[in-house]
Amino acid sequence: MTVVGVEGLRKAVHIGMAGFAFLLPALGWRGGAAAAIVAIAFNGLVLPRVAGRSLSRESDAGRRVPVGIALYPVTVLVLILLFRDHLEIAAAGWGFLAFGDGFATLVGRAAGGIPLPWNGAKSIAGTAAYLLWGGAGATLLYRFVSGRPLRVVEVAVIAFAALAGAMLESLPSEIDDNLLPPVGGALVLALALEAFHAARFPPEWPAQLLTALAWNTALPLLAVALGVVRVSGAIAGGICGALILAFGGLASYGLLWAFFAIGTAATRFGRRRKEAIGKAEGSGGRRGAANVAANVAVPALLVVAGGLSGDPGFAATCRMAAAGAFATAVMDTVGTEVGQVVQGKTFLLPDFRRVPPGTDGAVSLAGTAAGLLAAGGIAILFVVLFRLPWSAGVVVAAAACAGTVVESLLGRHGAPWRVSNGHVLNLYNTAAGASVAWLLAG
């Protein structure tokens, strides 16, 4: 069987499995979870004997079960457990998984075309197919499982979540696309639905947005003039800064600038030594759009969601999660930059195996201590700016530690799951830090 034939058969099965999502209303979350567990066992034990190598790509050589086939029911199980009280969101995530990923591969291989600027292995056509087909499939499944007509705002946020899933699928990451894009898209959908459920737009909001845009046009231009950021970084930072100031106010905006100041100082610390060992940040340490997207996209999304919502409890949890993301980004940046300068023993997690300094994913005592100190500074600032009890600062600092551990594990040198792109790692670790802060905040 040709590679095209293998891929066509795989994706036919991949898309067709979405038909089982229509059983979710009858099964409930417990029945759905049980069915997903059965599917995990079937794909691992039975399918290889029945299908042989007919569903295997060349990259699956040597594996008993292809990675994508093994992960598909695992992702479905994760979606069902995460959204057991809102199975329509789990169904939408299943739509992203089946239709989005499935058609992205088929269209991308058939059409070819212009590659993405940030990932030459993916095409604009494939990403557009994920957005269109994933959004359509998710809307269909969400409508069926919810059992009611959809509001316009629900259709709009499903499309936004499909865009988030398409962006995650387009990243240069070694983690299989069957896992993070559909789960991430479903999480964005849940966040957006909750934000718009009790959304409020006060009369002064347009003026606040215009003021935020003005400030975040002037300040990024000044940063470019001072040689702190590149033009692309100024544009991306200006957009994120305007959203954070408009929806989060001066307190959230203060966290953004604290992260920027600490990160910039850490990048310039010991630059000569980092240049000597080939670990210095490119472009003279000036940050670009990729740096901004990797470190600020998650907290900006959370700040906007909290600012939109009229639910005080939801807004407070969003602020806590955003602070956890900022603290995680600071801890990772400072830990990496200081660890490269201060000589000391370096280890890989989780087994603390000793490795040479500069090894990807390695941690050092000096870098960890400096990163924890910086994250503690963000946590203290969060408590002071929002006038919260000190327990909130503990949550933010703990989230930063957890997110940094995730980053070290995912970036571990030689690991089969290793993510080699630094910007993708930063996005994942800020998302992990935000998730831990959200869970700890209750």
pLDDT greater than 70 at residue 164: yes
Residues 309 and 419 in one domain: yes
Query: At 350, is the secondary structure helix, strand, or coil?
Result: coil
The residue type of 334 is V
Burial environment of residue 399 by CB neighbours within 10 A (0 to 12, 13 to 18, 19 or more): buried
User: If you average pLDDT over residues 253-272, what whole number do you get?
Assistant: 85
Residues 55 and 125 in one domain: yes
Residue 71's domain spans which residues? 3-197
In terms of Cα–Cα distance, which of 179, 174, 145 is closest to 71? 179
Q: CA–CA separation, 425 vs 1, rounded Å? A: 36
Share of the chain above pLDDT 90, in %: 52
Please give the residue that has the higher pLDDT: either 100 or 286. 100
pLDDT greater than 60 at residue 59: no
Q: What confidence category does residue 5 fall into, taking pLDDT thresholds of 50, 70 and 90?
A: low
- What pLDDT, on the 0 to 100 scale, is given for residue 3? 43
Query: At 442, is the secondary structure helix, strand, or coil?
Result: coil
pLDDT greater than 80 at residue 345: no
pLDDT greater than 80 at residue 26: yes
pLDDT per residue as tens digits for the range 355-380: 777 677 778 888 889 999 999 999 99
pLDDT greater than 90 at residue 287: no
- What pLDDT, on the 0 to 100 scale, is given for residue 421? 87
pLDDT per residue as tens digits for the range 210-254: 888 888 888 888 888 887 788 888 898 899 999 999 999 999 999
- What pLDDT, on the 0 to 100 scale, is given for residue 266? 84
Q: CA–CA separation, 235 vs 296, rounded Å? A: 13
Q: How many residues does the chain have?
A: 442
Residues 347 and 279 in one domain: yes
Averaged confidence pLDDT in the chain: 86
Share of the chain above pLDDT 70, in %: 89
- What pLDDT, on the 0 to 100 scale, is given for residue 57? 58
Q: What confidence category does residue 91 fall into, taking pLDDT thresholds of 50, 70 and 90?
A: very high
Residues 139 and 108 in one domain: yes
pLDDT per residue as tens digits for the range 313-323: 999 999 999 99
Residues 424 and 297 in one domain: yes
User: Can you tell me which residue has the tokens 């299989």?
Assistant: 176
Q: CA–CA separation, 84 vs 180, rounded Å? A: 18
Residues 271 and 403 in one domain: yes
Residues 150 and 212 in one domain: no
pLDDT greater than 70 at residue 350: yes
- What pLDDT, on the 0 to 100 scale, is given for residue 1? 39
pLDDT greater than 70 at residue 4: no
pLDDT per residue as tens digits for the range 121-148: 899 999 999 999 999 999 999 999 999 9
Residues 314 and 350 in one domain: yes
- What pLDDT, on the 0 to 100 scale, is given for residue 108? 84
Q: CA–CA separation, 225 vs 234, rounded Å? A: 10
Question: Of 197, 230, 264, which residue is a domain's last?
Answer: 197
User: If you average pLDDT over residues 386-392, what whole number do you get?
Assistant: 95
Residues 225 and 143 in one domain: no
Question: Of 167, 197, 227, which residue is a domain's last?
Answer: 197
Residues 161 and 224 in one domain: no
pTM score, two decimals?
0.89
pLDDT per residue as tens digits for the range 230-239: 888 889 889 9
- What pLDDT, on the 0 to 100 scale, is given for residue 217? 86
Please give the residue that has the higher pLDDT: either 55 or 207. 207
- What pLDDT, on the 0 to 100 scale, is given for residue 92? 97
- What pLDDT, on the 0 to 100 scale, is given for residue 109? 83
Residues 51 and 157 in one domain: yes
Where are the alpha helices (H) located in 226-277, listed in sequence order? 231-268, 271-276
Q: What confidence category does residue 284 fall into, taking pLDDT thresholds of 50, 70 and 90?
A: low
pLDDT per residue as tens digits for the range 182-205: 999 999 999 999 998 877 777 777
Number of structural domains (the chain) is 2
- What pLDDT, on the 0 to 100 scale, is given for residue 244? 94
Question: Of 197, 231, 249, which residue is a domain's last?
Answer: 197
Alpha-carbon 291 to chain mean position: 14
Residues 43 and 72 in one domain: yes
How large is the angle between the packed helices 180-197 and 67-82, nearest 10 degrees? 20
